[in-house]
């Protein structure tokens, strides 16, 4: 049913795009005949927006990987640097949450570890919606922030790092074999806001895959059984993505987990993707979830091997 709904949406979009293209061309012809410059300008602006949508949908059609259409887990981890990096990690989490909301995806909070003074040490959320993993996988890596620190009394410029890990929610179509003997299970009390909200039972679950040392934590539910089931699903997803990452690393010199983007707020305003060269001075919009230009360029580069400037020229 999900696949059918997605196909119907694509077919409906194609029909709508064809109709709007025809309508705007007709408007331009009428405007030129009547020498109505405003009508022509409005129609041309509508065609530019339509062209951008077509380019995005063409890229989306390339999301044909085994797990591209699936929901996605998104992890954010603060780097070394204490409060600075922890605050940056919380900013990144907000950025991705806003991006997801703007695209109609649902967010489910899995785990969050707060920082000592501000921000977060780590957090995991599940982004639910078609092609969530296909789009978000372009964000996997280390993100660097340069700014005047709000925590420095001397107002000095600081550089902070945080990593983003993306891996798919593995469904029944994807087989990931895990031996239970290879997994260590630990239970603990889930973190809480204090007072009556403190979890007094050991409902949080951590699974550690001993051969790879991959660990996952789930504490979003008060039921240990539900957290355990969610943690096993997360571990399967992590191992699936670990295997895919190893295969990719064997094919390319570009290692996984390296710095992919710089966000400079001082002494000038600039966000630059170091893989594709795409950059913008509208840092506020990016930190508020405007990430499509970076994702689209990364997908286009992988699919077509084109420079980022060619993304707009996809016909």
pLDDT of residue 257: 46
8 A C-beta contact, residue 233 and residue 169:
yes
pLDDT tens per residue across span 202-257? 678 888 988 888 888 888 777 888 888 888 888 888 887 776 665 444 333 333 34
Average pLDDT, the chain: 83
Across the range 252-264, mean pLDDT stands at: 64
Handedness of CA 131, 294, 248, 216 (dihedral sign): negative
8 A C-beta contact, residue 116 and residue 83:
yes
**Packing angle between helix 37-61 and helix 292-304, nearest 10 degrees?**
60
pLDDT tens per residue across span 7-36? 888 889 899 999 999 999 999 999 999 889
pLDDT of residue 312: 39
Share of the chain above pLDDT 90, in %: 43
pLDDT of residue 306: 62
Q: 245-283: buried (b, 16+ CB within 10 Å) or exposed (e) per residue?
A: beeeeeeeeeeeeeebbbbbbeeeeebbbebbebbeeeb
Across the range 75-79, mean pLDDT stands at: 92
pLDDT of residue 246: 58
Please tell me the distance from the alpha carbon of residue 158 to that of residue 85, in angstroms, as a whole number.
Answer: 10
Is 64's pLDDT higher than 60?
yes
DSSP tally for the chain: helices H, then strands E: 7, 11
The angle formed by the CA atoms of residues 250, 173 and 300, to the nearest 5 degrees, is: 50
pLDDT of residue 244: 64
Structure tokens at 148: 């005047």
**Overall pTM > 0.85:** no
Is 193's pLDDT higher than 70?
no
pLDDT of residue 269: 95
Across the beta sheet with 183-188, what order do the strands follow?
183-188, 204-209, 214-218
pLDDT tens per residue across span 154-186? 878 888 999 999 988 886 666 677 888 888 888
pLDDT of residue 263: 96
pLDDT of residue 197: 43
Is 192's pLDDT higher than 60?
no
Is 53's pLDDT higher than 60?
yes
Stronger pLDDT, 286 or 2, i.e. the higher one: 286
Across the beta sheet with 270-273, what order do the strands follow?
106-114, 120-128, 72-78, 157-168, 141-148, 259-264, 270-273, 279-280
Is 100's pLDDT higher than 60?
yes
8 A C-beta contact, residue 134 and residue 63:
yes
8 A C-beta contact, residue 126 and residue 244:
no
Handedness of CA 167, 172, 174, 180 (dihedral sign): positive
Is 280's pLDDT higher than 60?
yes
pLDDT of residue 194: 45
In three-state secondary structure terms, 262 is strand
Stronger pLDDT, 63 or 161, i.e. the higher one: 161
Cis peptide before 26 (omega within 30 of 0): no
Stronger pLDDT, 108 or 238, i.e. the higher one: 108
Stronger pLDDT, 12 or 151, i.e. the higher one: 12
pLDDT band at 315 (very low <50, low <70, confident <90, very high): very low
Q: How many CB atoms are located within 10 Å of the residue 66 CB?
A: 12
Please tell me the distance from the alpha carbon of residue 71 to that of residue 157, in angstroms, as a whole number.
Answer: 38
């Amino acid at each position: 049913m999900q696949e059918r709904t997605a196909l119907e949406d694509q077919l409906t979009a194609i029909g709508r795009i064809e109709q709007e293209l025809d309508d705007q061309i007709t408007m331009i012809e009428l405007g030129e005949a009547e020498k109505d410059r405003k009508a022509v300008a409005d129609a041309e602006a509508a065609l530019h927006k339509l062209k951008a949508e077509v380019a995005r949908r063409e890229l989306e059609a390339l999301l044909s990987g085994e797990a591209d259409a699936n929901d996605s887990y998104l992890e954010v981890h603060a780097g070394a640097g204490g409060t600075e990096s922890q605050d940056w990690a919380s900013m990144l989490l907000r950025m991705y949450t806003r991006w997801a909301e703007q695209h109609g995806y649902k967010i489910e909070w899995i785990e969050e570890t707060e920082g000592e003074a501000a921000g977060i040490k780590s957090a995991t959320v599940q982004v639910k919606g078609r092609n969530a993993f296909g789009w978000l996988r372009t964000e996997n890596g280390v993100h660097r922030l340069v700014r005047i620190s709000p925590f420095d009394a001397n107002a000095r410029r600081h550089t902070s790092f945080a990593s983003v890990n993306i891996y798919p929610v593995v469904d029944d179509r994807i087989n990931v074999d895990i031996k239970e003997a290879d997994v260590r299970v630990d239970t603990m009390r889930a973190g809480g806001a204090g007072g009556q909200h403190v979890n007094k039972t050991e409902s949080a679950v951590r699974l550690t895959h001993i051969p790879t040392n991959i660990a996952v934590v789930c504490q979003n539910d008060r039921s240990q059984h539900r957290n355990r089931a969610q943690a096993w699903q997360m571990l399967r997803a992590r191992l699936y993505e670990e295997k895919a990452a190893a295969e990719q690393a064997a094919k390319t010199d570009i290692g996984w987990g390296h710095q992919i983007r710089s966000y400079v707020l001082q002494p000038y305003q600039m966000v630059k993707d170091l893989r594709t060269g795409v950059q913008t001075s509208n840092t506020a919009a990016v930190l508020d979830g405007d990430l499509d230009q970076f994702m689209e360029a990364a997908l286009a580069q992988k699919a077509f091997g084109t420079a980022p400037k060619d993304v707009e020229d996809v016909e």
